Amino acid sequence: MTPGRDPQAWNRGLYILLWLSLLAATGAWVSHGLRISGDLREFLPSPKTGNQRLLMQQAGDGPGSRLLLLALAGDSPDALAQHSRDLREALLGAPELLWISNGEEDLDTVPEALQDYRYLLSPGPGDGSLDADGLRQSMQQRLQDLASPAAALIAPLIARDPTLETLRLLEAWTPSREPLRFDGVWLSADSQHALLLVQTRAAGFDPTGQQAALARLRNAHADVLAESDDTAAKESRVVGPDISHRITLEISGPGAFAEHMAAQTRGEASTLGGIASAAMLLLLLFAYRSFSLPLLAALPLASGGIAGLAATAIGFGDVHGITLAFGFTLLGVAQDYPVHLLSHRHPGTCSRDTARAIWPTLAAGAGSSCIAYLIFLFAGVSALQQLAVFTIVGLATAALTTRYGMPFVLANTRDDVAEHRLPILIQRRFLQQRIPRWPVWILAGVCAAVIGLGNAPWWNDNLASLTPVPAELLQRDAELRAELGAPDVRWLLVLRAADVEQVLQRSEALRAELDNLVATKVVDGIDYAARYLPSAAVQTARQAQLPDAAALQANLQQALLDLPFKANAFDGFLAAVEQARQLPPLTPSGLIDTPLALRIESLLQTDAEAEPNARTLALFTLSGIQQPQVLAAWAATHADVDLLDLKQTAQSLAAEWRMRVLNAVAAAAVMLLLSMWVALGSWRRCVRVLIPVTLGTACVIAALHALAIPLTLFHLVSLVLATGIGVDYALFFERAGDDAKDQRRTLHAVLICSISTLLVFALLALSEIPVLRAIGLTVALSVVPHVLLSVWLATTPSASEETQ
């Protein structure tokens, strides 16, 4: 029968087209609506204690996570300073950024809405700036200001704010620790870098928002460079010719790291994916000696992948990047199913019959994996739930399309793999001899010994090891943070009280001690809400101290004696003070829509689940901690102040979830056992299959432990996957029983599956990303034991033989 005249060929072609278009349509729909998130908090369980809740808040949205640190390098300090100023000008008002700071103090950053409150917010009036003497001094200075070139800036303010309280406020709001200033702009200690601090509007783990902010920064930098090149070109006849120094911009911070991670993941995914696909195609080509079969084998794979993605997108709306990566590694497992079908076909039967014949075993293998993953739906960790949905839907789809879809597209074969050389060779050498059982018992003993006696740490509690950011980038970030006085990411002081007013009052009461801590160099700087917003009590007290209209008028008249100001020049000032005497105290809600709002917001938090007199938290961000023990001792002397070690809190969180995941894995093991018993029907068969599987899993655990690799969540989840692979091999060998041809076909299939699985996961094990490395290593290490042990299974007498 020539293919050209085979009417079935047209049908098959049609089915393939149909399948492909369905895949393409679904794929397009999914990729259109899919959002990929990078929030590592999705891998953590829900927090229990107040400190853990705070940790989650800080990690996602806290002040530290929105901060980007910029460093300019590559030219003389003068040029760097100029570039820094130009960059800041270019970025003022950018919608992606909340504020940008480079050391220049800007008079017009006290927002309009807050200017009315200046006499309540500023300590000036309390220090006597509105007394007759204070006013006189101010007036004399303002007179000279009017004459000086600075009049351009001061003149608009003088009439309403002659004592320049707005200026005093701005000075009070500058951070207590600042980098070196050169010509008014921040420079690093070695004068090689100009430093800037930027706060983004988007949270640290919002990849699109951070991307937009980073793009804005880089564009502004390029624009400033272009402009300065233009100016240099114009002036080159005056300033000598020269070398155009290229100033480089370096960005550090959680947003930059997230971008780095995303780029790296994308890069690796495409490289590894490419290599893996090519390798698999070649392997299948070699194994089946046909060009079309490997391509057809890809159809169930693609279906599984796209179905898994679609299900996750529908169920959760977004997919975590790591879940995505993990999901696609599944394909290294799901490709087993079409391979089994292809290997078990032989001349004389049509594909439909073969599919029907192997379906029970296939279903048992896929089904038990799916049921095992069902447990993760209840693990209480959202990313694991996504993982579970992806895996279950993906594997089930791959299996079902193999059973029901592949027969439509597969022609009847003329090739029986049972006649290939390699399977015959292996069978003769290994399977047709009685292999003693004792090596297996020895293996079991060795595994038990390693597991029981090995003294490497079992668990990796360090959440930071989940990020693939290279150590030198983290180091650089720490250096920049130290230079800029940016807040520490690990330590935090927390003050708890019933409400905002109490928290502010307590902070003010602690002000002297806090200043002392800074003065004695225990900490370089402390930032807290009460620095920006005095408590209502303090504001009311200041209000009471403001002179009334008559007294202020008298003071003013005395101050203006002999000065050439007009009599009514300061009516606006008088009105402003009078207004300040009537204003209600400023609260955080009054700061909404001003730049201060975000600073205060991040320094004042509420914890709805805490007890009533600890509902409001004031955070004291620390920079440059020199003596943590002294700080801890100080915190211990106050009942409502806590020194929080975020790293340690994170570890306690990690330890908790470990317990939960272990329970889930144990439950999954039980489910696996039960589902196999149901599928195989006989307890004896069940045990026969489980022995190699259990031993194989034990080998992997022992190998990881022997390599001194501490286990993480991802190792555990991959272990379940690896066990699923082992179950698959064992079930097929068990099914083949003693039928020589079937044994050879199974050998063929298992060889292909194991080599391709090994290939894919060994490639993953080479990844820079710790998560992918964990997955790759675990599964790659499991392939060989599982293959060998299931081959050994084939040599032991089957149930049918024993009953004879």
Partner 1 sequence: MLSPLLLSTTVSAAALDSAALIASLAQPLPAKTTYFEQRESPLLAAPLQFSGVLERPQVGTLVKSVVQPYVERTVIADGRVSSEREGQPQRQFSLKRAPELVALTASFEAILSGDSNALRQQYRIDTLGDAEAWTLTLTPLEPRLAKRVLAIRLYGGLLGSQASLRCIDLDLAGAENSRMWIGELAATAMATSDASARAALCTAGPAKQAPVGAPEAANRSTGVKMARLPALPLQPGVPTAC
Question: Which residues form the interface with partner 1 (CB under 8 A)?
Answer: 82, 85, 89, 104, 107, 132-133, 136-137, 140-141, 143-144, 146-153, 155, 158-159, 183-184, 238, 561-567, 569
Burial string for 470-507 (b: 16+ CB within 10 Å, else e) reads eeeeeeebeebbebbbbbbbbbbbbbbbeebebbbbbb
Residue closer to partner 1 by CB (options 182, 430) is 182
Of 133 and 499, the one with the shorter C-beta distance to partner 1 is 133
The DSSP secondary-structure symbol of 99 reads E
In 409-528 the beta strands, taken as DSSP E runs, fall at 491-497, 523-527
683: which 2 tokens?
Answer: 């307890």
For residue 543, the minimal CB distance to partner 1 (Å) is 26
Q: Which of 712, 38, 56, 665 is nearest to 324 (CA)?
A: 38
Q: Would you say 98 or 159 has its CB closer to partner 1?
A: 159
Closest to partner 1 by CB, 123 vs 770, is 123
- The minimum distance between CB 240 and partner 1, in angstroms, equals 13
Pair 489, 646: CB distance under 8 Å? yes
Per the DSSP assignment, residues forming a β-bridge with 642 are 494
Comparison of 17 and 239: residue with beta carbon closer to partner 1: 239
Write phi, then psi, for 507 (nearest 5 degrees). -60, -45
CB nearer partner 1, residue 104 or residue 416 = 104
Question: Rounded to the nearest whole angstrom, what is the least distance from the CB of residue 246 to partner 1 in the complex?
Answer: 21
Residue 462 and residue 466: Cα distance in Å, rounded? 8
Question: Which residue, 104 or 601, has its beta carbon nearer to partner 1?
Answer: 104
Helix (H, G, I), strand (E, B) or coil at 479: helix
Residue placing its CB nearer to partner 1 in the complex, 140 or 557 = 140
Specify the residue, 104 or 656, whose C-beta has the smaller distance to partner 1. Answer: 104
Least separation in angstroms between residue 93's CB and partner 1 is 14
Least Å from the CB of residue 87 to partner 1: 13
Encoding tokens for residue 556? Answer: 């003013």
Structure tokens at 44: 């953590």
Give the integer Cα–Cα distance in Å for 261 and 269.
12
User: What's the min distance (Å) between Cβ of 92 and partner 1?
Assistant: 11
Helix or strand (DSSP H, E) at 620: strand 616-625
500-519 and 628-636 helices cross at what angle (nearest 10)?
A: 140
In the bound state with partner 1, the residue whose beta carbon lies nearer, of 58 and 82, is 82
Contact 55, 607 (CB under 8 A): no
Question: Helix, strand, or coil here: 67?
Answer: strand
Smallest Cα–Cα separation from 752: which of 787, 801, 790, 706? 787
In whole angstroms, the minimum distance from the beta carbon of 161 to partner 1 comes to 13
Q: CB nearer to partner 1: give 89 or 230.
A: 89
Cα 519 from chain centroid (whole Å): 37
Nearer to partner 1, 171 or 609 (CB): 171
User: Residue 236 CB, nearest distance to partner 1 (Å)?
Assistant: 14
Q: Name the 3-class secondary structure at 163.
A: coil
Q: Which two tokens stand for residue 143?
A: 């007179």
CB of 184 to partner 1, least distance (A): 5
Q: 321-329 and 382-400 helices cross at what angle (nearest 10)?
A: 30
| Residue placing its CB nearer to partner 1 in the complex, 572 or 737 | 572
CB-based contact 613:497 (threshold 8 Å): yes
Q: Smallest distance from the beta carbon of 37 to partner 1, in angstroms? A: 41
Closest separation between CB of residue 162 and partner 1, Å? 10
Nearer to partner 1, 135 or 600 (CB): 135
Q: What is the dihedral of CA 283, 284, 290, 295, to 10 degrees?
A: -120
Closest CB 155 distance from partner 1, rounded Å: 7
Amino acid at 546: L
Q: State the DSSP code for 38.
A: -
- In angstroms, what is the minimal distance from the CB of 557 to partner 1? 14
Q: Output the smallest distance, CB 610 to partner 1, in A.
A: 45
Q: What are the Cα distances from residue 706, in Å, to 442, 454, 709, 758?
A: 17, 7, 8, 20
Q: Is the dihedral of CA 553, 556, 561, 562 positive or negative?
A: negative
Nearest to 206 by CA among 391, 38, 390: 38
Question: Tokens for 383?
Answer: 């990313």
Q: How far is the CB of 128 from partner 1 (least distance, A)?
A: 11
Which residue's CB is nearer to partner 1, number 79 or number 536?
79
- Residue 394 Cα distances to 299, 333, 374, 760, 770, angstroms: 13, 10, 13, 17, 24
Q: Give φ, ψ of 524 to 5 degrees.
A: -75, -35
Sign of CA dihedral 574, 579, 582, 586: negative
- Phi and psi at residue 766, in whole multiples of 5°? -90, 0
